[in-house]
Structure 1
Amino acid sequence: MSDVAKRAEFARWNWKVKKARDALFATFEMHGRQLRGEWCDYAESHRLSTEVASIGSSPGRVIQRWVVKERLGEILRSCDLSELREERLVASVLDGPDAAWIAIPLEVFQFELIPSAVEWMTDGFVLFASDRASLLSVDVEEVAGASRIETTVIGEGIEPIGAHLLAHGPEPLPILN
């Protein structure tokens, strides 16, 4: 690909992502929430998406289905995440496609993203600790008119979250290959 084509692709990506980010911020504000953090650039967003895709089907994943969304919110807000203070956490909010990855503080995860997933999100988000190849996927689903959440935890880098979910949540679903 020529330099001109690369610059054009990058400019298109920047324009698309800016629109997606603006829409995502507006959606959060409309629901009385704030999405704060530092947006990752094109190269890092591409790298993070590739890394998440590569570990997504890990046989060590733990999947739980929460039929009462509010229960997940209560449990994750009560989780002691002090061990994760030094971890660099990035999130991809699936309700805002093309918005890239955003590096967020723990407080945004616990008190903005989680309540948003419980209250109004229709798709969910992925929280990724890239240094430890660990993630939490929060997938909001509508099934037969009922809304529920499915969580998937992969890796040990976010162990306090995974342990807390296992201790207080539903039984893990079996992983079928």
Structure 2
Amino acid sequence: MSNSAGVQTYIHIEGFDSFERDAFNRAKVRAGFRKAGRVVARRAQLNLALARGAQNYPLPRTGELVQSVNFRVSRAGFLVRVAPDKTAGMKEYYPAYLYYGVKAGGRVGRAAPGEGVGKSNRRRRGQRAAALAARAGSGWRIAPRANYMADALQDESQRVRDILTSAFAAALR
């Protein structure tokens, strides 16, 4: 498993840029992208399952996150997207919370009745900034986790390149 720092989240295959899309048999291109998507999705599931919370990956407790990793080929067939989907077992789309993290402390809301200044009950000068600074300094409630999807792509990049290169070569009319 690779380090998430500086990982590209896409792969560009060189050598086929000069051709128009109409020059390719789309069924063969889609088949190649399906195969590449399946390879990366399985590797991402494997990264999650085997890491068991190590390497700053999320800890799969119920297996719902592992099962949610899926791939989708674009309508045109020249792109595949591998990402966790929201499943029926998830109340919220929590892979986003795992990737971006959640800061501790709630949102800075309105001042409590009678605590503000004047008829409109507004905050005193500098109170909102102080509350925001206290929230920012309080740390993470859920710390951001490593990007296991980008690591899976990096781990399987050579295999994906080989699959897509052969698919494009076979798809030329």
Higher normalized contact order (CA 8 Å, seq sep 6+, divided by chain length): 2
Asked whether the two chains share a fold, i.e. TM above 0.5, the reply is: no
**Structure-1-length-normalised TM-score:** 0.30
